[in-house]
Every structure is written in C-alpha cells, then in structure tokens.
Chain A
Amino acid sequence: MPTAFAYESMDTLFLQRTERSPLLEFDFVGRRLRIEGESYPEDAAAFFGPVLKSLESYLSELSVQRPSSPLRLELRMAYFNSSSAKALMNIFQMLESAARQGVPVEVHWYYDPEDETMQEFGEDFSEDLEYARFNLHELEAQPS
C-alpha cells in the first residue's frame, strides 16, 4: 500500500488520496469535513480507526461549545466497499448523536449524475439521519 501524504494538527486532519483510499480533510476550525474519491483500503479499520477517534473527541468538544454555525461534512464518493460503508455509517451515527445533543450538523452528499449507484447510496444513508440535515447534490459535469 502506498504511503499517503498525511498530517494531523490541532486544527486539521489531512490524508492524501491514494489508489485505494479517499482524500480526507477535516478542518476542525472551519468545521468542514471532506471525504472524496474511492475507498477500499486494505485494512479499513486501520485507515478509518484514527479518523473516527479524532472525530469523536472533536464532536465531544463541540457538544460542549454548542456552536451556532453548522458543522459541514461533504462527501464526493466514487466507489467504496462494505467496510468503508460501515465506517461511513459510524461517522453518520456520531454526527447524528452530536446533532441530537444540539450541535448543528449538515451532511452534503455529492454524486455524479451518471452514477446511479452513488445516488442511491446517498438516498439510503439519508434515511438514518433525523437531527443531522442530509442534502443530496448532483456534481457539475466535468469539463472534458
């Protein structure tokens, strides 16, 4: 597995996109989380474990702070396997429970208009969220 360019600071968690793992950028200060690309890491627990951990501690801070502007998660997934789906569902659950505690949360799911599968997955995930707002968007056509 190629070593991904990555760094984590107090403010940001950044994992560069690799062939099998998505780009992941958590801007904790700007309250903007971003996951993009394909996700089928060899060891999904090893890839998503630290991400879930830092998200959890960040969310517990936010639950205390109760910010007025929303926390935004943007997803532009092209492909993911079952383990990554489980990791995404874990993220959604964590965000939903933070939202239930009063943290405003927005999830934005972008999909290629020609990718019916990703559209349906987005619709599917949205059904589990009640307190967090889930928004589906068609990606703009890429200039060829």
Chain B
Amino acid sequence: MSSELDPPQAGEAYSLYFQEEAVIRQAETMIGKLDEVSDGVRTLADAYRLGYRETARLVRISDRMQLDLHEANRTLTAQAEDLKRLNGTLRKEIERREQLEQELRRIASVDELTGTHTRRHLLELAEHEQRRSARHGKGLVVLMMDLDHFKRINDRFGHAAGDQLLRDFGALLRSSLRKGDIAGRFGGEEFLAVLPETDLDTAEAIANRLCDRVREGRTQWTGQFLSVTVSIGLAGTDGDEPLDRAISRADQALYEAKSAGRDRVLVARSGPG
C-alpha cells in the first residue's frame, strides 16, 4: 500500500505543502472509512435487533405450542391411567368369568353325587373314544349298569339313603375301572361305562369283579348296613359300529340280566348288525 505521504511523482506539480495536503487527503479518506464503519455498525445493530425480535417471536410461538402439547400430554396421561384402571377391572372380570365358566363346566361334566361323569359329558367322551377306536381299528366295550331294586331302598329308607348308596356305588365303579376307562351316571340308578381298547373277556372280568364288590359292599346308614346288587349288560364293538347301537345292545343284555334274576353280568355276544 503506497503511503499518502510519498513525495509527488514525476510530472506532478511540486507543492511546498505536499505533506500537509497528503495528511488532509488521508484524514478525508479516514473520515470516509469512519462513515463506512459507522454504517456497518448500524447495519449490524439493525440485523441484531431483527434477529432478536425474531427469536422473541419464535419463543412466544414455541411457548404456545408447548402449552398445547403439555395439556394434550396431561390429558393423554389421565386417559392412559383411566384405561389402565379399566383394564384392571376388565381383567378381574375376565378372571371371574373364567372361574365361573370353569365351575359351570365342572358342574356340567361331573355328577355331584357319584363323582362320575354326567350323561352329556359321558356321551361326548364316549363318542370321542369311539371315533378314535374306529380310526385305529380297535374295539371298545360298553357296560350298562343298573342297581337292582333301587326303588325299594328309596321307599324304605328315604332318598337320602338312596343317595348314599349311589355315592358308594360311584366310588366302587370308579375304583374298579382302569385309567382311560370312562364312567358316568346315565340317569337315576343307571350307569354307563366305556372301556376303550378292551376285549370282551377282559371287560367281562372287570364287570364281574365290580358285581362281586357291590354285592359284598355295605353302606352304613343311621346305624344300619344297607346292601344292593347290580346288573350289568356288556356289548363289544369292533370300532365301526355307531356308539348308540352298541349302547342299545348293552342295554338289551342288561335287560336280559335283570330277567335272569339280577345281580349278574350278561354279555351281548352277537356282533354288530
């Protein structure tokens, strides 16, 4: 940068006051620059003020949006808590209903008095067993049982005594069968058992043993010992025979056992058809 205080160049008129003039020129230049600086500072201040106003406005907008969000958030939190509470109540209600359902299912499937299956549940299980047997080509045996002269017990000792006999027979029946055998109360003093994958001889042996145990058994009733006998009709099926047909054949054998003097086991030897 050339100094303003340089002596005049060749061709330029010489002045005695060149130095003073140079100082004036420099001072004038600097004044111009000062103006530039002050303009620059003014521009900066303006820009800063503008920026600051914008920031303040943005903060105000942001506050307002945050307020909305905060309130929405609080509403959501409250709603979430409500939902949680409702869910808890619902869960309890579901549990209660499931327990109720289980209880109902138990009531529907177990005969209260004898602890054996109810007729409906027994038939369901038996149908299932029959289908399984048919699939595997294996036979099953149906036992129809009826307590002999049961009406006399009821008439002489009352229904409570009859109930006690039924209870005891239920226990004997259950303990006489094997795991996987199905037994249920078919109605009144009539019982049905289904013995899957069993041949007729085995089933007959089981039925005879039950018949013996019932005859030998005693039910204690208000200081007396009551006894009862059972008649049993058996029918075997090779798997293809529908269950109700096998049941009606066993029922026929039971009828024959009754006719032949009761307290015995009779096998329906004739096959299906």
B70 within 8 A of A: yes
Cα(A79)–Cα(B66), bound, Å:
10
Interface contact tally, CB-CB below 8 A: 20
Cα(A44)–Cα(B64), bound, Å:
12
Q: Which residue of A lies closest to B66 (CB)?
A: A81
The 0/1 profile, CB within 8 Å of B marked 1, for residues 75-103 of chain A is: 00001011100100000000000000000
Tell which of A40, A79, A82 touches B59, judged by Cβ atoms closer than 8 Å: A82
B62 within 8 A of A: yes
- Which residues from B are CB-within-8-Å of A44? 63
A40 touches B62 (CB 8 A): no
Cα(A44)–Cα(B60), bound, Å:
10
Helix, strand, loop or mixed for chain B's interface? helix
Q: How many of A's residues come within 8 Å of B, CB to CB? A: 7
Helix, strand, loop or mixed for chain A's interface? helix
Q: Which residue of A lies closest to B73 (CB)?
A: A79
Quote the shortest CB–CB distance from B190 to chain A (angstroms). 62
Cα(A83)–Cα(B62), bound, Å:
9
Q: Which residue of B lies closest to A41 (CB)?
A: B63
- Which residues from B are CB-within-8-Å of A79? 70
Quote the shortest CB–CB distance from B72 to chain A (angstroms). 13
- Which residues from B are CB-within-8-Å of A40? 63, 66-67, 70
- Which residues from B are CB-within-8-Å of A83? 59-60, 63
B63 touches A82 (CB 8 A): yes
Q: Name the interface residues of B39-83: CB closer than 8 Å to any CB of A.
A: 58-60, 62-63, 66-67, 70
Cα(A79)–Cα(B67), bound, Å:
11
Quote the shortest CB–CB distance from A21 to chain B (angstroms). 13
A82 touches B67 (CB 8 A): no
A82 touches B62 (CB 8 A): yes
The 0/1 profile, CB within 8 Å of B marked 1, for residues 49-92 of chain A is: 00000000000000000000000000000010111001000000
- Which residues from A are CB-within-8-Å of B70? 40, 79, 81
- Which residues from A are CB-within-8-Å of B66? 40, 81-82
Quote the shortest CB–CB distance from A118 to chain B (angstroms). 14
Quote the shortest CB–CB distance from B64 to chain A (angstroms). 9
Quote the shortest CB–CB distance from B238 to chain A (angstroms). 68
Given A82-B66, A86-B59, 18 more A-B residue pairs with CB atoms under 8 Å apart are: A40-B63, A40-B66, A40-B67, A40-B70, A44-B63, A79-B70, A81-B62, A81-B63, A81-B66, A81-B67, A81-B70, A82-B58, A82-B59, A82-B62, A82-B63, A83-B59, A83-B60, A83-B63
- B residues whose Cβ falls under 8 Å from a Cβ of A: 58-60, 62-63, 66-67, 70
- A residues whose Cβ falls under 8 Å from a Cβ of B: 40, 44, 79, 81-83, 86
6 smallest CB-CB distances across A and B, nearest first, come from A82-B62, A81-B66, A82-B59, A81-B63, A83-B63, A82-B63
